[in-house]
């Protein structure tokens, strides 16, 4: 598993196209799937960003997603789709809380909402990335490109 920057170095086109999907509305948006113990997976809409070469998100203290990531760390992030051109992008791996105050400050400055002490910053390490390309909503199946960390 690697930081976003290492993934982008290894698969620049895939990372660029995935980032464009995360940021297609002007702010990073994704669906986060998290798991814990033997509970069913949970799906959460979140904001994501790439700051200092790291894929990060501020998550609400006390939320189920924070509890899941703190206990287990496994995640999948899926970019929202554009209905007109429904490409897909997903990354998965393990997340961990970031305690670096400099990174937190840098991320908060660029974040689409006000960040305070009610949020914890998590970095999402990239183990596997998948991009599914569709020319139109009628094209099926998508043409998939993937990358795995060695």
Beta bridge partners of 51: 54
Q: What is the pLDDT of residue 64?
A: 92
Q: Give tens-digit pLDDT for 34-55.
A: 998 888 899 999 999 999 999 9
Q: What is the pLDDT of residue 81?
A: 87
Distance CA 58, CA 147 (A): 26
Tokens of 101: 């105050």
Q: What is the pLDDT of residue 137?
A: 86
Q: What mean pLDDT do residues 80-96 have? A: 93
Mean pLDDT of the residues in the chain: 95
Q: What mean pLDDT do residues 104-133 have? A: 96
Share of the chain above pLDDT 70, in %: 100
Task: Name residues whose C-beta falls within 8 Å of residue 63's C-beta, 6 or more positions apart in sequence.
Answer: 44
Cβ atoms within 10 Å, residue 47? 16
């809409």: which residue's tokens?
A: 45
Q: Give tens-digit pLDDT for 105-117.
A: 999 998 999 999 9
Closest C-alpha among 3, 4, 64 to residue 35: 64
Tokens of 89: 């992008």
Q: Give tens-digit pLDDT for 53-72.
A: 999 999 999 999 999 999 99
Question: What residue segments make up the domains of the chain, in order of their start?
Answer: 4-135
Residue 135 has pLDDT above 90, yes or no: no
Classify domain 4-135 at the CATH class level: mainly beta
């Amino acid at each position: 598993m690697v930081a976003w920057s290492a993934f982008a170095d290894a698969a620049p086109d895939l990372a660029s196209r995935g980032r464009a999907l995360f940021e297609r509305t002007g702010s990073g948006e994704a669906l986060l799937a998290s798991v814990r113990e033997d509970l069913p997976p949970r799906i959460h809409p979140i904001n994501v960003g790439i700051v200092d070469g790291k894929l990060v998100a501020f998550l609400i203290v006390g939320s189920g997603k924070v509890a899941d990531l703190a206990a287990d760390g496994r995640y999948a992030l899926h970019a929202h789709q554009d209905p007109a051109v429904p490409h897909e992008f997903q990354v998965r791996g393990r997340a961990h809380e970031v305690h670096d105050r400099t990174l937190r400050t840098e991320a908060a400055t660029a974040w689409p909402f006000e960040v305070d002490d009610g949020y914890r910053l998590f970095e999402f390490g990239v183990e596997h990335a998948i991009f599914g390309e569709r020319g139109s909503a009628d094209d099926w199946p998508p043409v998939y490109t993937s990358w795995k960390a060695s």
